[in-house]
Amino acid sequence: MRQAVKGASAHRRPAGPAGLCPTVLATPHAPIHATRAHAGRSPEPSSSSQSSSGASPSSPSSAPMSPIAARILSGASAGPAPRPSSSGLVLPPSARATAAAAAAAAAPAATATSAPSSLASSHAATPASHAVNGSAAAVNASGAPVASGGFRHGLDGPIFWLDRQRVHSLSDYGRDVMRSMSGWAASELPKYLKDTGKHWQPSDLLPDSASPDFLDQVHALRTAAGNLPNEYLVVLVGDMITEEALPSYMNMLNTLDEVRDETGAADTPWASWTREWTAEENRHGDLLNKYLYLTGRVDMRAIEGTIQRLIGSGLDPKLENNPYLCFVYTSFQERATRISHGNTARLATYHGDAALGKLCGLVAGDEARHEQAYSAIVSEILRRDPDGAVLAFADMMKKGIVMPAHFVDDGWHSAANADPGNGKPANLFGDYAAVADSIGVYTTHDYANIVDVLVKRWDIEHVAVRSGEAAEAQAFLMKHSERIRRLADITTERRLRDRKRGKNKSAAFSWIFKREVSLM
């Protein structure tokens, strides 16, 4: 769980106005903003824009607008675009439903050939319909939604702003895609889970407190852990703290439109997956926490305070309540976590702690299964909505994958390690990530390799996209790992050059009783 690496391009969407609630304000300008936010749809005027007789004014623009043009006007695509003003943002949900229904009624009948090419049926299909936000959504023979009233994809949604961030960016078409995947999720996602009775538990890998020789087992553990370098302990503690912030990650998944657990115990395949995934992940933090406690080499009170602060701070990976974006993020993140735990396992064994090597390896194995699950979800979204999935992948790469512990704070590190020259406070996450990079647990080269793996796994090069913006995103993705790798090479060369010159930078970590370790 490491430092973020930013892409070279601008975000898909610019930041929005600060502190604005995602609702439309009653002003005469609201219909104009709504038109820009809903490509190709006729917005329903707000009540304040109606005459006293109840008649609605004419549409601000009668000319048809392509989805791409509308996204550019709304600020939804990459590149410079005007921010929405505080006078109005988007239509409220009820008005969106009415507008969508009107657009669907005016559009020609949808057929299977209207769907993305990867889903188009080779034979005539009789589309079924189901209610979506008050409108009828057709599906083809494969169960995927058929776009009506022009080409659509999952990221072609309305523009909501909240605290300078876009939220709820999933379009109605994207909602249909996720709903169409319920059957797939019910049959496929359980394959990536293990039965609780057959799973390892933390107690299987730690000294048995009920055993007569418990103290001897603890002594053996502490003896082996005594060989671990301080740099390694910093990284292992950071990994454990990240795992212990699991409540934030479950909360993140339950902000996603169409797949969230609406009740806390909803009987849907997506909700079930979230709970089961969380249950499996919960064992990781428990195991590492107890192990580190028994070593006697770390300051547990400082660590526990850090965990509490991190959970209280949450995380902000810029997912916009959008499952397309989130499942790209989790695919990347699970692989990064697998690499990290795999390397801590390797280093533990190298330093003579075979028991720690085994338990870190088991955690890495869980992360590998979870990576496969989230990657499979994205593969299925790609099959049903190629343009939307490619745009989502590129969007997350341009933002840079922000690691889950990026808000980590122990209440001490920043001031204690401030720059003596200018007083600039240190960043605990940045220093922890630097140590992880320096000992080879998780590096910028690993980041670039993950991009490569996902591009190849999802066969991005051969995805049949239909829109110009998706084609641009596709081209960006094919070269993105090269950009990251060049940055990694420059960083590595600089570090080696500084080492040869005798330069060094270190930081003290409260987690290991304020001992200093090298950041290079």
Q: Which residues are catalytic?
A: 200, 243, 281, 284, 334, 337, 366-367, 370
Neighbours of 309 (CB within 10 A): 17
Q: CB of 86 within 8 A of CB of 18?
A: no
Closest C-alpha among 184, 89, 200, 119 to residue 389? 119
Cβ within 8 Å of residue 428, ≥6 positions away: 408, 409, 410, 413, 414
Closest C-alpha among 377, 312, 331 to residue 181? 377
DSSP letter assigned to residue 202: G
Cα torsion 250, 251, 257, 258: sign: positive
The DSSP string of 288-344 is HHHHHHHHS-S-HHHHHHHHHHHHHH------TT-HHHHHHHHHHHHHHHHHHHHHH
Cα–Cα distance, 387 to 381 (Å, whole number): 10
Closest C-alpha among 404, 509, 492, 452 to residue 3? 404
Q: CB of 43 within 8 A of CB of 99?
A: yes
Cβ within 8 Å of residue 239, ≥6 positions away: 1, 288, 340, 341, 344
The DSSP string of 36-101 is HHSTT--PPPPGGGS-TTSPPPPPS--S---HHHHHHHHT-SSS--PPPPTT-----HHHHHHHHH
Token pair of 132, please? Answer: 């979506």
Q: CB of 391 within 8 A of CB of 470?
A: yes
Neighbours of 190 (CB within 10 A): 13
Three-state DSSP at 481 gives helix
